[in-house]
Chain A
Amino acid sequence: DAGITQSPRHKVTETGTPVTLRCHQTENHRYMYWYRQDPGHGLRLIHYSYGVKDTDKGEVSDGYSVSRSKTEDFLLTLESATSSQTSVYFCAISESVEGPHGYTFGSGTRLTVV
């Protein structure tokens, strides 16, 4: 059921280095999202996209940027990684903002910043 894949699955990086996470979908869904999940905070929206080159900020966007040059790919970049960005990152896709199918999530990327 590889409608949405994330890469890499695990990454360890050093403080201050740039990091890019990739989300790829084969469902042709318009909407794509990046969330981070941390204990006690749940899933928090970082950035989302509502079309090619159309992106907007979420709840916790500081220190992150995104790009969407193709419908199928949504990239999340940590410009200069910090230890506070150690987290599990999930990409999600949806057909519509309020549709009945909700979101489909990728398998996640576990990022550790040392």
Chain B
Amino acid sequence: QKEVEQNSGPLSVPEGAIASLNCTYSDRVSQSFFWYRQYSGKSPELIMSIYSNGDKEDGRFTAQLNKASQYVSLLIRDSQPSDSATYLCAVKGTFGTGTKLQVIP
């Protein structure tokens, strides 16, 4: 079982909707959790980090962490076509395989 699990998608949402991306992990002692965005043919770039249970908001992005359930999520509000990319969940340096998001104009 991979240590960080994500649904590969694609997840399709209409422009302006909320996109919800989910991730589960197996290492109970992990302290740091990240979301990266990767456009096709490009390298991953960090968009959110979260360490404490609860929500962390940054602009249109909200990361949610539930350590008891070993679950991390990323919400993208008011989704834009430019948000279309693959989103990678990472627990420290271990990455999930990513969820491809398509925002339909």
Contact with B along A23-42 (1 / 0, CB 8 A): 00000000001010000111
| Closest CB in chain B relative to A50 CB, distance in Å | 12
B interface: dominant SS:
loop
In the complex, are the beta carbons of B49 and A42 less than 8 A apart?
no
Contacts of A77-114 to chain B: CB distance below 8 A: 90, 97-108
Total interface residues in chain A, CB < 8 Å: 22
| Residues of A contacting B97 in the complex (Cβ-Cβ under 8 angstroms) | 40-42
Q: Which chain A residues have a beta carbon within 8 Å of chain B's beta carbons?
A: 33, 35, 40-45, 48, 90, 97-108
Total interface residues in chain B, CB < 8 Å: 20
Q: Which chain B residues have a beta carbon within 8 Å of chain A's beta carbons?
A: 31-32, 34, 36, 42-46, 49, 51, 88, 90, 92-98
Q: How far is the CA of A84 from the CA of B44 in the complex (A)?
A: 23
In the complex, are the beta carbons of A100 and B93 less than 8 A apart?
no
In the complex, are the beta carbons of B46 and A98 less than 8 A apart?
no
Q: A100-B49, A101-B46, A102-B90 are in contact. Are A42 and B36 (CB under 8 A)?
A: no
Closest B residue to A106 using CB positions: B43
